[in-house]
Amino acid sequence: MSWIVKSSIISFGHDIEGSWLLTEAAEALGNEKLLKEIKNVAIKLVDRTIMEGTDKSSSLFYEYDKKTGKIDFDKHWWCQAEAMIGLVKAWQITGNQQYMKNAANIWDYITKFIINVEYGEWNAVIDKFNHVITKGDRVGFWKCPYHNTRACIEVINRLV
């Protein structure tokens, strides 16, 4: 579709997820010129996400609508998971310790607000006041352990 943007929504979780997935794809291709270019794009995606899509705890907001100028300040479980990986990958690319600090802050946020120790799953959504939004399914078609499990495995593999 001619690469024309059709939506006014910016998804902070998808942007930071894309930053590390694009880098891994370029690494797999083994094209050093492409990899250098993608690493630059990835860092720009991460930096923009941090600048526009996080709060003081480094946790990620859900989305921003360019058309209305409104930010959805809710924090969805999968966005936090993807942010951890994206930030650790940004640290691997640049060596900038601030990325690791932000990743550690998100992990702290996850352990305080996202992980539901009582029921053994991650809460789906936390509002801007750090209250669990309980409406909706605990698990479902889109709410599954894919992002959180993958995030833990990816981060462990990157730090070991």
Nearest to 50 by CA among 2, 27, 95, 84: 84
Query: What is the pLDDT, as a whole number, of residue 138?
Result: 76
Closest CA to 50 of 96, 115, 2, 3: 96
Is pLDDT above 80 for 1?
no
For CA atoms 70, 41, 85, 105, give the dihedral sign.
negative
Checking if the pLDDT of 106 tops 90, the result is yes
More confidently predicted of 155 and 145? 155
- Mean pLDDT in residue range 83-100: 98
* Contact by Cβ (8 Å): 3, 61: no
% of the chain surpassing 90 pLDDT: 84
**Residue pLDDT, tens place only, 13-60:** 999 999 999 999 999 999 999 999 999 999 999 999 999 999 988 999
* Per-residue model confidence as pLDDT tens digits over 126-150: 999 999 998 877 787 788 888 999 9
Greater pLDDT, 135 or 79: 79
The per-residue pLDDT for range 26-36, each reduced to its tens digit, is 999 999 999 99
For the chain, domain boundaries? 9-159
Which of 17, 12, 37 lies closest to 27 in space, CA to CA?
37
Residue 82: what pLDDT? Answer: 97
Whether the pTM exceeds 0.85: the reply is yes
The CATH code that applies to domain 9-159 is 1.50.10.10
Indicate whether 157 pLDDT > 90: yes
